[in-house]
Amino acid sequence: MRESRGAKAAPAVDVAAFFESRTGSLQYVAADPRTGRCAVIDPVLDFDPKSGSVATTSADAILAHIAARGYTIDWILDTHPHADHFSAAAYLRQRTGAPTAIGARVTEVQELWSDIYNLPDLAGQTDGWDRLFADGERFTIGRLEARVIHSPGHTLASVTYCLADAAFIHDTLFMPDSGTARADFPGGSAAKLWDSIQTILSLPDETRLFTGHDYRPGGREALWQSTVAEQKRLNPHIAGKGREAFIALREARDRALPIPQLMLQALQVNLRGGRLPEPEANGCRYLKIPLDAFPTARW
């Protein structure tokens, strides 16, 4: 975990980042320093696919940080239904009582995946969240106003959370040396991703951008914060490129990528707000894995 602070003056929002190394995921605590109210963004529930074991180590580290700072959680936020890790939103809601939220178009992603999993009850199952945010909707964290930007492309339901001088941009832009997120999942679109990125880049140049993943290219130290100006200047997927060139580049790269290791496990959990399947008669929980649902996927 590291703190993020402006070089010249304290930022309007304090951001602490927590890097989960097994999936390269970034989790955040964004706090109003005047009130001590905060939001947890994209928390990870640890999962070992080899043993099927679930743990709360990452989420508990976030809770320990919040307790040490004396913060109070106003919101538990997911930017989208993640395909590479389990969400800890349900666990944190159970521990703290804080409300959970995600983008309103998660119901469209549920529709797609209810057919893939043959889980008809999954579609429209929105009780896993306390609020579904529409594009442009506003809410508060302490005395700070947050704004929701619908940012499709990686998924149909992806949203960006803008809070004072910071924007939590999930799987759109990565760090400038890592390009952009894939857009080949069901409901994904490289064209929509380009449009979403352009909306993010229309924010003030000094806006701090916090990404959803870092895969440490070349083995470098994990990084997660850039600015709008740095992305415009340094990101090779967008600097000097137009819409059609980006789409061609993104689609070519996506065709060469294997499906994320945890996608089939994670989405049936994350499309329920991070709730695990209910225990069966023997007390065990089971995940459902569709076989050959993606016959053209790279191994």
Backbone torsions φ then ψ of 132, nearest 5 degrees: -115, 120
Give pLDDT, residue 110: 97
Give pLDDT, residue 4: 55
Give pLDDT, residue 142: 97
Long-range contacts of 16-23 (CB under 8 A, 24+ apart): 16/65, 17/210, 17/224, 17/225, 18/58, 18/61, 18/62, 18/65, 19/214, 19/222, 19/224, 20/44, 20/46, 20/58, 20/85, 21/222, 22/46, 23/84, 23/85, 23/213, 23/262
Contact in structure between 164 and 33 (CB atoms under 8 Å)? no
Give pLDDT, residue 120: 94
Contact in structure between 141 and 38 (CB atoms under 8 Å)? yes
Beta bridge partners of 19: 26
Superfamily covering domain 15-270: Ribonuclease Z/Hydroxyacylglutathione hydrolase-like (3.60.15.10)
Rounded-to-10 torsion of CA 152, 154, 159, 163: -120
Contact in structure between 146 and 77 (CB atoms under 8 Å)? no
Helices and strands (H, E) in the chain, number of each type: 7, 16
Report if pTM > 0.85: yes
How many whole angstroms separate alpha carbon 6 and alpha carbon 227?
11
C-beta neighbour count of 112 within 10 angstroms? 18
Give pLDDT, residue 58: 98
Give pLDDT, residue 76: 98
Q: Which of the residues in the chain have pLDDT under 70? A: 1-11
Give pLDDT, residue 3: 54
| Interior/surface letters 71-106, b for 16+ CB within 10 angstroms, e for the rest | bebbbbbbbbbbbbbbbbbbbbbeeeebbbbbbbbb
What is the bridge-based pairing of β-strands 72-77 and 53-55?
A: unpaired
Give pLDDT, residue 7: 45
How many whole angstroms separate alpha carbon 225 and alpha carbon 109?
28
Instruction: With residue 32 as reference, give the H or E element that holds it.
Output: strand 25-32
Domain boundaries, the chain: 15-270
Could you tell me the sign of the dihedral formed by the alpha carbons of 84, 272, 2, 68, in that order?
A: negative
